[in-house]
Amino acid sequence: PKPANLDGVTTRTTCAYCGVGCGVLATTDSAGRVTVKGDPDHPANLGRLCSKGSALGETISLEGRLLQPQVDGVATDWDRAVATVAERFKATIAEHGPDSVAFYVSGQLLTEDYYVANKLMKGFIGSANIDTNSRLCMASSVAGHKRAFGADTVPGQYSDLEEADLVVLVGSNLAWCHPVLYQRLAAAKAARPGMKVVNVDPRRTATSDLADMHLALRPGSDVALFNGLLVQIAEQDAVNTDYVNSFVNGFDAALVEARMADISVTGLQLEELQAFYDLWVGTEKVVTIYSQGVNQSSAGADKVNAILNCHLATGRIGKPGMGPLSVTGQPNAMGGREVGGLANMLACHLDIENPAHRTAVHEFWDSPVIADKPGLKAVDMFNAVGEGKIKALWVMCTNPVVSMPEADKVKAAIKGCDFVVVSDMFADTDTAKLADIVLPATGWAEKDGTVTNSERCISRQKGFLPAPGEARHDWQIMCNVAKAMGWASAFDFHSPAEVFREYAAMSGISGRFGRDFDISGLADVSEAEYQSLKPTHWPITKTRTGGRYFADGSFFTGTGKANMLAVSYRPPQSIPTEDAPYIFNTGRVRDHWHTMTRTARSARLSQHLAEPYLEVHPEDALKLGLKPADLAEVSNAHGRSILRVLVTDRVAPGQVFAPMHWTGQTSSSGRIDTLVTANVDPVSGQPESKAATVAIAPYKAG
Ligand code: SF4
């Protein structure tokens, strides 16, 4: 629709892509065009945008949009679609129990959507089988935070980057994956020449260009690297004994374990290790940023705790310019965590295993049931779909047929599932094409609600275009279905502000149990206040708003002290063999997002890198008989992909890299998650997307 009445109207909203959570000013014109600028008043970006954010206006055309519900590929009305979904879910639950159904949701959902999905599954259906694609993104950080701090709390904030004297980036290509944070870091470094940056990554990336030191450690050896650092902290008398004695448990055991570390597994020279250790130990103001290279690992939670140990031992946490900072991939991974959008947690950072927490949530919702055990995490959930244990699946706002590890197996599982619902903007995603029912959902330019970014800042995402066709908001769709299942009063929400008020009120439970996620100060916001809500860091209570955590030594564990964990190095689970000798690393490119369902719509974004590729070291290329721009066949027991060869020493010999975005639709060859083995971290359930093993050969057509 031509938004003639919106000519010249500017809306203050938030970018739909990464976890930096930049503020955006979106202006519509009478021709239906949308131009975007960075919001100078948003604390995350202070007016900046990256290539993806600045192209948001190019990705919102209605071409290909799903405008009506479809049942078995035939357009229908909402009444029939909702009734069918409700009946099939009710019948499945009645026959096979609540754990026979599942929701697979997304870090792209707004917090209000996430809240309703979690309430419906855990409080009314009575199962915790709701998991999210954020499981693939930051579950190891959640687990590490909970083990160390007693709650999933990010201690610091983005401005710490600018106040630090040393910034260590671990497993993070910040330049491409969190570009505005990278811009802030680069500007800070330019302004303060004494500031140092270290990049820890097996691969040399665009981020390495900014670094004073690039440590190309062996894939998966981060625990050994940081255990070595803990030993150096002790040996160089840099332990903050007052802080440790007063506020930290487990120091001695962690150090004993660290002393047993064999730092040679990092593959780094002793001189470069010592230079890094001396720099870290000798610099008081250190920020350690970590991302998917840490989290997407079968030892991800241990890697996180190895990093946290070093900050706890030195008391360098929660103070200006000091602390660990986990940066999430998705725009609302943090918001999902707040409302319990993971299978192993309740809303408001409460524990599903804790009977008192369960009772409090049960009473707050006044619900017929409450899930009493963790549900299935993403990999286990799709395994259960494949085994026929999950018989009704609802996928919201995500594309697991492309993005899940062992994606061919996931595709077969969804294909074989008795009943599949997909709510999305498009009916032609690889996953939506397999659904029995497809429900049209609103997208970025139309959605209305809140998101929380990686530094705990809650921002409004505001719709500025009308919903196309019959598309509805995700929270509305779920309320429609919940009402049709018989739970009318509990899901009688009429606006996102009503949902927001309920979960803000619920967060007071978190405070009652001494937990951190308390935004009960917003429980009574009026509609007008909600509309004009300014970006605000949590907690938001009557007595406190925002700020850093833990500098005062107050933690959320049972003892009130932080836990240092004794962690030891475990190699990646896939071991190179004669049949699959190359370590296969995956990641993102600068200008595309996830499975490209939106960014592929911008010709400008596709100019940067137009097709999937495989980075191969020159020595390996020679051995394999591959020249630049040849096609290579990459394969293992799970799948096969054809990729254009990029010969580069950015990767080490024996290692290769491919970006994760391309789908079966945009290229018959680029679906690289078919090759990722579904090995998971035993604590977090996060898959090891950075270290599968593959065979490589020149591609021969036919
Ligand atoms: Fe959007 Fe992330 Fe870029 Fe900011 S850095 S504009 S949130 S993609």
Question: Residue 167 contacts by C-beta under 8 Å, 6 or more apart in sequence?
Answer: 161, 185, 195, 196, 197, 198, 286, 287, 288, 289
Nearest ligand 1 atom, CA 15: 1
pLDDT tens-place string over residues 295-332: 999 999 999 999 999 999 999 999 999 999 999 877 88
**pLDDT band of 50, cuts 50, 70, 90:** very high
Q: Is 239 in the pocket of ligand 1 (CB under 6 A)?
A: no
Where is pLDDT greater, at 215 or 596?
Answer: 215
Question: Residue 588 contacts by C-beta under 8 Å, 6 or more apart in sequence?
Answer: 173, 176, 177, 659, 660, 661
Give the CA count within 13 Å in the CB-facing half-sphere of 637: 11
From 564, 536, 605, select the one nearest 252 (Cα to Cα).
Answer: 564
By CB atoms closer than 10 A (0-12, 13-18, 19+), residue 379 is: buried
Give me ligand 1 centre to Cα 329, in Å. 10
The answer to whether the CB of 360 falls within 8 A of the CB of 157 is no
Q: Left, alpha or beta for 446 (phi > 0: left; psi -120 to 50: alpha)?
A: alpha
DSSP line for 281-347 = HH-SSEEEEE-HHHHSSTTHHHHHHHHHHHHHHHT-SSBTTBEEEE--SSTTHHHHHHTT-STT--G
Instruction: Please name the helix (run of DSSP H) or strand (run of DSSP E) that holds residue 450, with its range, or none.
Output: strand 449-452
The answer to whether the CB of 200 falls within 8 A of the CB of 289 is no
Is the pTM value of this prediction over 0.90?
yes
Give me ligand 1 centre to Cα 110, in Å. 16
pLDDT tens-place string over residues 77-112: 999 999 999 999 999 999 999 999 999 999 899 999
CA dist., res. 45 & res. 43, Å (int): 6
Q: Is 55 in the pocket of ligand 1 (CB under 6 A)?
A: no
Q: What is the reported pLDDT for 700?
A: 87
State the average pLDDT over residues 262-271.
Answer: 98
Give me ligand 1 centre to Cα 133, in Å. 19
Q: What is the reported pLDDT for 662?
A: 79
Share of the chain above pLDDT 90, in %: 85
Q: What is the reported pLDDT for 608?
A: 85
Which amino acid, 307? I
Q: What is the mean pLDDT of the chain?
A: 94
The answer to whether the CB of 569 falls within 8 A of the CB of 227 is yes
Q: What is the reported pLDDT for 4?
A: 53
pLDDT tens-place string over residues 194-210: 999 999 999 999 999 99
**Is the backbone peptide bond immediately before 539 cis, with ω within 30 degrees of 0?**
yes
Q: How crowded is residue 416: how many other Cβ atoms within 10 Å of its Cβ?
A: 13
**pLDDT band of 702, cuts 50, 70, 90:** low
Q: Which CATH superfamily is domain 139-327 in?
A: Dimethylsulfoxide Reductase, domain 2 (3.40.228.10)
pLDDT tens-place string over residues 343-374: 999 989 899 999 999 999 999 999 999 999 99
Q: What is the reported pLDDT for 601?
A: 83
Class assignment of domain 582-698? mainly beta
Q: What is the reported pLDDT for 400?
A: 94
**Burial per residue of 552-586, b for 16 or more beta-carbon CB atoms within 10 angstroms, e otherwise:** ebebbbeeebbbbbbbebbebbbebeeebebbbbb
CA dist., res. 288 & res. 321, Å (int): 10
The answer to whether the CB of 296 falls within 8 A of the CB of 136 is yes
**pLDDT band of 2, cuts 50, 70, 90:** very low
DSSP line for 167-217 = EEEES--HHHHSHHHHHHHHHHHHH-TT-EEEEE-SS--GGGGG-SEEE-P
**Burial per residue of 645-678, b for 16 or more beta-carbon CB atoms within 10 angstroms, e otherwise:** bbbbebbbeebbbbbbbbbbbbbebbbbbbbbbb
What would the two tokens of residue 521 be? 């100060």
DSSP state of 394: E
**Domain segments of the chain as ranges:** 4-59, 70-131+332-537, 139-327, 582-698
Give me ligand 1 centre to Cα 229, in Å. 32
Q: Is 426 in the pocket of ligand 1 (CB under 6 A)?
A: no
State the average pLDDT over residues 13-22.
Answer: 95
Question: Residue 148 contacts by C-beta under 8 Å, 6 or more apart in sequence?
Answer: 304, 305, 308, 309, 312, 562, 563, 564, 565
What would the two tokens of residue 373 be? 């055990």
Nearest ligand 1 atom, CA 38: 6
DSSP line for 629-651 = T-EEEEE-SS-EEEEEEEE-TTS
CA dist., res. 370 & res. 125, Å (int): 8
Share of the chain above pLDDT 70, in %: 98
Q: Is 17 in the pocket of ligand 1 (CB under 6 A)?
A: yes
Most informative mutation of 51, 180, 459, 592 for ligand 1 (most atoms within 8 A of CB): 180
By CB atoms closer than 10 A (0-12, 13-18, 19+), residue 128 is: buried
What would the two tokens of residue 260 be? 């047993």
Report phi then psi at 545, rounded to 5.
Answer: -135, 125
Q: Do domains 70-131+332-537 and 139-327 have the same CATH topology?
A: no
Judged by DSSP in three states, 272 sits in: helix
Which amino acid, 37? K
Nearest 5 degrees, angle CA 362-CA 346-CA 373?
80
Q: How crowded is residue 16: how many other Cβ atoms within 10 Å of its Cβ?
A: 24
CA dist., res. 263 & res. 248, Å (int): 25
CA dist., res. 529 & res. 47, Å (int): 23
Q: Whose CA is nearest to atom 3 of ligand 1?
A: 50
CA dist., res. 474 & res. 336, Å (int): 14
pLDDT of 693 over the 80 cut: yes
From 37, 95, 53, select the one nearest 444 (Cα to Cα).
Answer: 53
**CATH code for the part of the protein at 70-131+332-537:** 3.40.50.740
Give me ligand 1 centre to Cα 554, in Å. 33
What would the two tokens of residue 680 be? 């998971």
Q: At what angle do helices 496-512 and 111-118 cross, to 10 degrees?
A: 70
Q: Is 180 in the pocket of ligand 1 (CB under 6 A)?
A: yes
pLDDT of 154 over the 70 cut: yes
Give me ligand 1 centre to Cα 645, in Å. 29
Give me ligand 1 centre to Cα 178, in Å. 6
pLDDT tens-place string over residues 403-424: 899 999 999 999 999 999 999 9
Determine the topology of domain 4-59 in CATH: Phosphorylase Kinase; domain 1 (3.30.200)
From 286, 289, 34, 80, select the one nearest 175 (Cα to Cα).
Answer: 289
Q: Is 52 in the pocket of ligand 1 (CB under 6 A)?
A: yes
Nearest ligand 1 atom, CA 20: 7
Most informative mutation of 13, 18, 451, 599 for ligand 1 (most atoms within 8 A of CB): 18
Q: How high is the ipTM of this complex?
A: 1.00
**pLDDT band of 471, cuts 50, 70, 90:** very high
Nearest ligand 1 atom, CA 180: 5
Nearest 5 degrees, angle CA 393-CA 395-CA 398?
155
Q: What is the reported pLDDT for 1?
A: 42
Q: Whose CA is nearest to atom 4 of ligand 1?
A: 22
Most informative mutation of 13, 14, 17, 608 for ligand 1 (most atoms within 8 A of CB): 17
Q: How crowded is residue 262: how many other Cβ atoms within 10 Å of its Cβ?
A: 12
The answer to whether the CB of 381 falls within 8 A of the CB of 343 is yes
Q: Is 386 in the pocket of ligand 1 (CB under 6 A)?
A: no
Give me ligand 1 centre to Cα 149, in Å. 28
State the average pLDDT over residues 670-683.
Answer: 90
Give me ligand 1 centre to Cα 324, in Å. 21
- Torsion from C-alpha of 131, 135, 136, 142, nearest 10 degrees: 170
Q: Whose CA is nearest to atom 6 of ligand 1?
A: 53
CA dist., res. 164 & res. 311, Å (int): 14
Q: What is the reported pLDDT for 624?
A: 98
Most informative mutation of 45, 327, 589, 608 for ligand 1 (most atoms within 8 A of CB): 45
Judged by DSSP in three states, 240 sits in: coil
Give me ligand 1 centre to Cα 48, in Å. 9
Q: Which residues pair with 267 in a beta bridge?
A: none
Q: Is 46 in the pocket of ligand 1 (CB under 6 A)?
A: no
From first CA to last CA, the distance across the chain in angstroms is 46
**pLDDT band of 666, cuts 50, 70, 90:** very low
